[in-house]
Structures are given as C-alpha cells and as structure tokens.
Amino acid sequence: MNASDHRSGRKSWASAFDIRLVIAALLAVFGVIILLMGLFGTSQADIDRAGGTNLNTWTGAGLLVAAAVFAVWARLRPVPVADDDANHDDVV
Amino acid sequence: MTVLADASLRLDAGFTDYALIAIYFIFVLGIGLMARYSVSDSLDFFLSGRSLPAWVTGLAFISANLGAIEIVGMSANGAQYGMPTMHYFWVGAVPAMLFLGVVMMPFYYGSKVRSVPEFMLKRFSAPAHLVNAITFAVAQVLIAGINLYLLATLINVLLGWPIPISVVAAAVVVLCYITLGGLSAAIYNEVLQFFVIVAALFPLTVVALQRVGGWDGLVSRVEQEASPAQTGAWPGTELAGFDSSVLSVIGIVFGLGFVLSFGYWTTNFVEVQRAMASKSMSAARRTPIIGAFPKMFIPFLVVIPGMIAAVLVPELAEYKRTESAEAGVDYNDALLLLIRDLVPNGMLGLAISGLLASFMAGMAANVSSFNTVFSYDIWQRYIVKDRQDSYYLLVGRVVTVVATVIAVGTAFIAASYANLMDYLQQLFSFFNAPLFATFILGMFWKRMTPTAGWVGLVSGTLAAVTVFVMSETGVVELPGQGTAFVAAGAAFAVDIVVSVAVTTVTAPKPARELVGLVYGLTPRDSFHDPRDEGQSWYQRPGLMAGITLVLVIALNIIFA
C-alpha cells in the first residue's frame, strides 16, 4: 500500500482542530473551578491536612497559567492551513 | 496486580468533584466527535492519515503506556522498594525508546508498512506474519479486558459504583470515541490525559514532599523505617531479587534494560503505531525520543509519592513494617491513600479524572491497535481481500465494537479469577522478547531466511513459556523479578540460536525484495524525507537522542 502518497493534495483537516486549544480550554475550566473552590470552598481542616498549603488555590492558579501557555503557543504558531506541499515540520 | 482493596479507600467526592469528572468526559467524547470529521478512509481511521506532529505522537507514545499498571503498579513498587523502582523508567524504557527512534524507526516508517506484523510479512513471509498478528491480536484484546477490569475496580473503590455497571460504563465511553474518531481520537485523548494526569500528580507530589520534610526528610525517614538501600537507585538487589550486587546490576541492565524493555518498546505495535501515525520520517523518529523526555521525569510523580505514602500514611507504614493483611491496605493502594489523606474537594475531582483518564487510555490503546492489526493483517490479508477501502473502514468500526464486547467479557472473567489475570499479563510480556531478537536479526542480517523468521519466533516464545511454567510449578526457584528476566533472556537466546541454525539450511529472500527492510541493502538517502528539509537543531533525531541519553545517565548518577 502506498500509504501517504494519495493524500499529499488533500487539505489539512488539522486547521479545523487544534489539540492545543482543546487542552487550554479544559485546563482553564478546571483551573477556574478549582481556584474558586480554593478561595471559597476549602476548609481549614483541608488546609491543615496538606501541611498548611491550600492545594486548591495553588493548583487552580497553576492550571490557569498552563492553559494560558497553551493558548499563547497555539496563537503564536498556528497550525498551517496547508493544502499543498507546505509541510512545516517546525510546528504543529 | 491485586485488586484494590475495600471501602477505607472511598474518597469523599463532592458535587464539584463530580462536576469536574463530568466536564472531563464531555471533552473526551468531544474529541472523538471532532476527530470523526478527519476520518475519510481506512488510513485515517487506523493510522491518523500519517498526519500528526511529533510532539502529539510523542506524548501519546508514553501516554498509551501510562495506564493502570504504570500509575498504580509503579507507585506500589515505589512504596515497597523505593528508588530502585526508577530503573523501570531510566533503564527499562528510555534507552529502548531512543534505540527505536534512532535505529529502527527508519525501517518501520520508511517501508510504509501499516503495522508491525506487516513488517514481518515483508521481511519474512506469511507464517511469521500470521504468528505475530494472531498472538498480538489475542494478547491485546485480553489485555484490554484486564485494563477495563482495573478501571472498573477503580471506579468501584473511588465512587462506589458496582463493578458490572462500572465495566459497561467505561467500555461504552471508550467504544464511542474510538469508533467515531479511530486512532486520532485515541491519540488526542492520550495527549489530553497526559496533561490531566500531570496536573493531578504534580501538586500532590509537591505537597506530599513538603509534608514529609522535603527530599532530605524523605530520605532520612525511609532510611530509618526501611533501609538505606531504598534511597538510591543502584544496585537494587531487593528489586532484582538477587543477593549479590553484581548479579543485581547485571540482571537489571541486561534483563530489564535490554531484553525485556527493548522487546516491549521496539516491537509492541501499541507503541509503534503512535510513531507510524506521525507526518514525516523525522517526526516518526522523534516520536519515541520526545516521549523519552517526560518518561524520564514521570517517575518523580509516581514513584516518589509511593515512597512518601509508605512513610506518611499510617496504615501503609504499618503494612510495610509487618507485611500482614491486618493493616487492611497494600502497596497497590499507595497513591490512593495519599490522595485520600492530602487532597481537598475540588482538586480531588482533578485527581480522579486523571486516574480514570489514564486507566481508560490503556484500554483505548489496546483496542485501537487491535482493530488495526485485525482489519489489515488478518481480515484484509487472509479472509476478505481486494475490497474497496470503505469496506475496510467499516470493518475497523465493527471490529472495534466486537473487541470492546470481548473485553467486557474478559473483564468479567478477570473479576472472578484474579490470578489468571496476573499470569496472562506476565505471559504476554514474554511474546516481546523473541520478537525483538527476530526483528534485530532480520533488520541487520540480510541472509536470514523467511523460515528462520517464524521458527525462531515460535521457539523463542516456547522457551519463555517453559521457563515461566517451570518457575510457577517450582521446578526452578527464582526470586523477585528473576523469573521475568530469565524467561526473557532464554527467549532471546533461543530465538537467536534457532534463527541462525535454520538460516544455514534454508533459502534466503532475494536481495531486491529486502530493500528498505534490511540495513545493509538500504541506501541511506532512502531514509531522507523531503518534508523534513529546513529543520532546526532541536528537530534532529540523533542529536536529541544524544541529549536524552546524557540526561538519563546524569539522573542515574545523581540518584545512585
């Protein structure tokens, strides 16, 4: 089977779907919910269990930063809308 | 692996936690739906149209393996053996992954085969192909069942759902996204899962380390409560099961590091399929090399929490002291106990999502590689030939459903025979050692004949099974991981000897049929891919593999 030959002329579907944005979206939603839990829904007992750290606040904030990194990456180096031989190997 | 224990592990998941889990599942199914639009022929379905970038396939490469056995099993090993568990990553995975990327991938990707068995067909002949395709397919569908069962026990322990409902619910989710989006859906979900599991384990590890008094605190407590041998990776006598340090090092380097791990990482289609899905030669070669980076650091998020759990969680510390069932927990519970004791609601939802994700990915990887091998290598090759491509795409979807149904059946069998499950897993791991011997001979020795291909494979496998049966029935006594090391070593040696012997008395393939499949007969520029021109330094597979190797050696020295 000539595996990749027949598709060189095909429009890259990837332009419609960037996994980095999906990851950013999920991490952002998780981040917001967990951060809010950390600010309003974490009891002193919870904080004591984790040795004085409010895990929710830190994790939520960390998730939001990670989400931002993915969003910026996707923004700076978008998936090439390639329908030709412009196969940029450098990015997604 | 034994079944996770009782209700003392029940986590108090609240409304927020369930909401997070639900959101995660919406994303999982959403990815399946999105990937659906990319599937227009069988190559899209089975190999993602060979279109994916290297960082995606590289993360999927390790995520496919970051399932139940890795997360629960390696944190359990961490709790039991301490730092020597690192060998499963630094010695038992990274070198083999680099070898796959640097040496073997050009043949896999360059020959345009669609599966590992298909490489056997081109290099050798139909019997070798059939042996490989059938053992692989059977192993995968049974392992999918085992993974499904482990996933169901996790749901049962964490959330209290009955096992049968957990099995069916988990199977339906996996079925939905694979039938819709094929390998792309599996791979994209593996990438997502990777980040979710890291997001869950990283904060847990940091806080656990803080609780135990930092790295120094952990070292001093492990030295005090267990033994100083557990705070350094070498020589790992407890892990290898040999009393002598020298034998232990040899066992780990050759048994785990060479035979077992090279067999697994370089010939297992579950892994290699991820690299085959990438978009160019360079991307295919970089897939395992990129995967090796996170693979080096994952043990810090898996093994270290296990070690901490064994000193921080009272029940587990008691179990480690007494090794008696009265503690009510065992090593497999290490990570869950740590989560129970440290993690508040909110973060808990993230942790459960991560665990569910990783368990599900294991099964999805089995199913997506099974349907490729079954559809291409068995159905299309031997049963219904020469139909239109759309026919085989349909076959792939139907086979996914059938495989899932069989996996559900296997899961129920596993539920009643926990030991059977352990045996199966160990047995299947032996299929890889002779496979590696056959591959490496076949790739570098043009004289090796088609007959030698399948005879060597079968006798190597039988050698491993013989050692395994002798050890199980007590004919020979091998401690710890000794059985696995010796069985794999025997399989490897027998395969080589038999292959060489058979080659001397049978006829080789003509050289022109082996171009692109055998090292000496393949011109170097045939590995050149025009799509890879203008690469940056960090995209050169050889250089990256070198950097990775230096890093992993440094880790071994730092944590010796």
Task: Report how far apart, in Å, the C-alpha atoms of A65 and of each of A30, A69, B59, B257 are.
Answer: 12, 6, 20, 37
Average pLDDT value for residue range B6-27: 81
Answer CATH for B7-237+267-388 from 1.20.1560.10, 3.90.1150.10, 1.20.1730.10, 1.20.58.220: 1.20.1730.10
B351-399: per-residue pLDDT in tens? 989 888 888 888 888 888 898 888 888 888 888 888 888 888 888 889 8
* Least confident span in A59-73, B266-280, B466-480, B488-502: B466-480
Residue A16 has pLDDT above 70, yes or no: no
Residue B429 has pLDDT above 70, yes or no: no
Residue B424 has pLDDT above 80, yes or no: no
CB contact under 8 A, A26 and B31: no
Contacts of B214 (CB under 8 A, 6+ apart): none
Residue B315 to residue B331: CA distance in whole angstroms: 10
* Least confident span in B95-104, B212-221, B525-534: B525-534
A9 at B interface, C-beta within 8 A: no
The pLDDT mean for chain B works out to 83
B144-174: per-residue pLDDT in tens? 888 888 888 888 877 788 888 888 888 898 8
pLDDT for residue B195 = 92
pLDDT for residue B289 = 92
pLDDT for residue A23 = 92
Single-letter residue type at B336: L
Residue A64 has pLDDT above 90, yes or no: yes
The count of CB pairs under 8 A between chains A and B is: 136
Instruction: Pick the residue from chain A with its C-alpha nearest to B37.
Output: A13
pLDDT for residue B480 = 59
Phi, psi of B508 (to 5 degrees): -75, 170
CB contact under 8 A, B347 and A34: yes
Q: Are B282 and B535 in contact (CB under 8 A)?
A: yes
Residue B159 to residue B154: CA distance in whole angstroms: 8
CA nearest B365: which of B99, B187, B503? B187
Instruction: Place B427 in a pLDDT band, splitting at 50, 70 and 90.
Output: low
pLDDT for residue B413 = 82
Q: Are B190 and B59 in contact (CB under 8 A)?
A: yes
B224 at A interface, C-beta within 8 A: no
Which residues on A lie below 8 Å from B38 (Cβ)? 13-14, 17
Phi, psi of B434 (to 5 degrees): -65, -30
CB contact under 8 A, A50 and B342: yes
Average pLDDT value for residue range B17-38: 87
| Tokens describing residue B295 | 């693979």
Single-letter residue type at B393: L
Task: Report how far apart, in Å, the C-alpha atoms of B69 and of each of A18, B76, B383, B402, B503 are.
Answer: 30, 10, 35, 24, 38
What part of A 16-75 touches B (C-beta under 8 Å)?
A: 16-17, 19, 22-23, 25-27, 29-30, 33-34, 37-38, 41-43, 46-47, 49-51, 53, 55-56, 58-60, 62-63, 66
What part of B 4-33 touches A (C-beta under 8 Å)?
A: 16, 19-20, 23-24, 27, 30-31
| Tokens describing residue A76 | 């700076």
A2 at B interface, C-beta within 8 A: yes
pLDDT for residue A7 = 44
B34-78: per-residue pLDDT in tens? 888 777 778 877 777 778 888 888 899 888 888 777 888 888 888
Residue B197 has pLDDT above 60, yes or no: yes
pLDDT for residue B205 = 92
What are the boundaries of each domain within chain B? Answer: 7-237+267-388
Residue B513 has pLDDT above 60, yes or no: yes
Classified as helix, coil or strand, B432 is helix
